Structure 1
Amino acid sequence: MNISGNTILITGGGSGIGLATAKLLDQFENRLILVGRNKQKLQYAVSQLTNAEFFIADVTDPHDVQSLVKHAESEFPDLNILINNAGVAYTYSIQRIEDSFEKATAEINTNYLANVHLTTKLLPLLLKNNESAIINNSSVTALVPALKIPTYSASKAALHSFSQSLRYLLQAQSNVKVFEVLPPLVDTDFSKEIDGPKISPEKVAETILHGMETDTYEIFVGVAAELSKVVRNSPETAIKLLNQLA
């Protein structure tokens, strides 16, 4: 698809992968709307871009989502790309922590349900435009669970399944393309408590843009590409490999 001249909404756009992707897209004459909860981060992010603005919203809050959607409909009627990037992860052992349910709930709400909610609410707007896309920032743990972040892995597995369903439904009947990004561990504040080798958010952003340009609907980043091949032949081997890396 065309990576220039779009109007793009990015959740979690104030830092990490979201901001790195925004910086690259900014070079191709796109209009950007960065969404997040932290006003200071969003203000700083927008100051680094040439054609961007921000909207403060918690994507897990239905009232905030409603406000965001109304704002998009009135101010950005040409919105044609949604990047679901906001996420949360907790490192813990289910055997040793009493609030595992609360942590799992937060991960499912942010990493999966919020994506479903915002996507379905913005879909009528995306369907109106000539070439549109939904880009879900998932994880290689959607295919191969990481034992240190077990319920995060499960939330991304749910997002992976949803992305596949959405792709087959929409691309058969509409102009909306559905991409899923599956990176390994990325060096951001998001993952600072998770040990293991990490790639840069800039590398993820570069791979996302290449995937968009080439209509590669499942965008594997770094070692995720090799792990995706291993898991087809031996899921057990893939689990061992990922958890040695992590």
Structure 2
Amino acid sequence: MKISQNTIFISGGSAGIGLAIAKKLSEAGNKIIINGRNKERLQNALKELPNAIAIQGDLSLKEDRIRIATELKTNFPQLNIVVNNAGAAALNDLSDSKNNAAEKAYQEINTNYISVIDFTALVLPQLLAQEDAAIVNVSSIAVYRGNKYLPTYSASKAALHSYTQGLRDTFAENEKLNVYEVYPPLVNTEFSAEIGGANGIPASEVADELFVALEKNQFEVPVGETKKIHALAEEISNAVNA
């Protein structure tokens, strides 16, 4: 699809991967709309983004999803790309009965999965009215295997992965709407600090890979070490379906 002169909404766009994507796409001549919960962080992010505006709100809340979708329809009718990047993660020790594991999992599932489905449904009519549109879901290397530190986060991203595949299949015959999935590995952001994010790749690498994928209409976007796992998964899938 075209990589300039788009109007792009990016959730979780005030920091980390979302901000890196916003910078990359802003530099390419796109109108950027970033979203986040914290007003101060949004304003600081805007200082790094020419031709961008911010819409504050928490997409994990139904009322905020409706309000933001309405604002996009009213004020930005040309919106044609939505990047679902906002996420939640918690260290979740399943061996500790006092850990509130289910409550942590609920927050992750709500933010990483349910809210994405609902918000996508809200903006979908607007995207379908465009000549060239895209939905970009940011999942994770964790879709391939959970671990003892982030078991329920991994499960929420696996659910997002499955939904994204279904969404892509649903619109496979619609040449005006493409559905992308980005699979970052560990990334050096504040979001991942608790799990050793300092050892991860820079967020700009994720943004660079997405930019190339948009240009090539490459709907699967593995990044860094995810590429090896993704390639193996594709090989197994092709063998099973042969």
TM-score of the aligned structures, taking structure 2 as reference length: 0.93
**2-side partners of 1:104 and 1:116: how far apart?**
17
Q: Give the SS at the match of 1:53.
A: strand
Q: Match of 1:61?
A: 61
Q: Match of 1:206?
A: 208
Q: Match of 1:238?
A: none
Q: Match of 1:8?
A: 8
Q: Match of 2:168?
A: 167
1:34 alignment partner AA:
I
Runs of 4+ in 1 over 6 A off after TM superposition: none
Given that 1:79 and 1:125 are in contact with CA atoms closer than 8 Å, whether structure 2 keeps it comes out as: yes
Q: Give the SS at the match of 1:156.
A: helix
Q: Match of 1:81?
A: 81
What displacement does 1:232 show?
A: 6.0
Given that 2:92 and 2:99 are in contact with CA atoms closer than 8 Å, whether structure 1 keeps it comes out as: no
Identical counterparts, % of pairs: 41
What displacement does 1:174 show?
A: 5.1
Once the two structures are superposed, the pairs formed by residues 207-246 of structure 1 within 5 Å of their partners are: 207-231=209-233
Q: Match of 1:39?
A: 39
Deviates more, 1:63-72 or 1:224-233: 224-233
Compared CA separation, residues 231 and 131, structure 1 to 2 (3 A): closer
**2-side partners of 1:206 and 1:114: how far apart?**
26
Given that 1:144 and 1:231 are in contact with CA atoms closer than 8 Å, whether structure 2 keeps it comes out as: no
CA displacement 1:43-78 (0-9 Å, x = unmatched): 111121111100111001111111101100110000
**2-side partners of 1:203 and 1:173: how far apart?**
30
Compared CA separation, residues 82 and 95, structure 1 to 2 (3 A): same
Where structure 2 has 5 or more consecutive residues not aligned to the other structure, the ranges are 237-242
Given that 1:127 and 1:174 are in contact with CA atoms closer than 8 Å, whether structure 2 keeps it comes out as: no
Deviates more, 1:121-130 or 1:95-104: 95-104
CA displacement 1:151-185 (0-9 Å, x = unmatched): 00000000000100101111313511000000111
CA displacement 1:137-159 (0-9 Å, x = unmatched): 00011122233100000000000
Given that 1:107 and 1:151 are in contact with CA atoms closer than 8 Å, whether structure 2 keeps it comes out as: yes
Deviates more, 1:190-199 or 1:82-91: 190-199
TM-score of the aligned structures, taking structure 1 as reference length: 0.92
1:5 alignment partner AA:
Q
What displacement does 1:233 show?
A: 7.2
2:228 alignment partner AA:
E
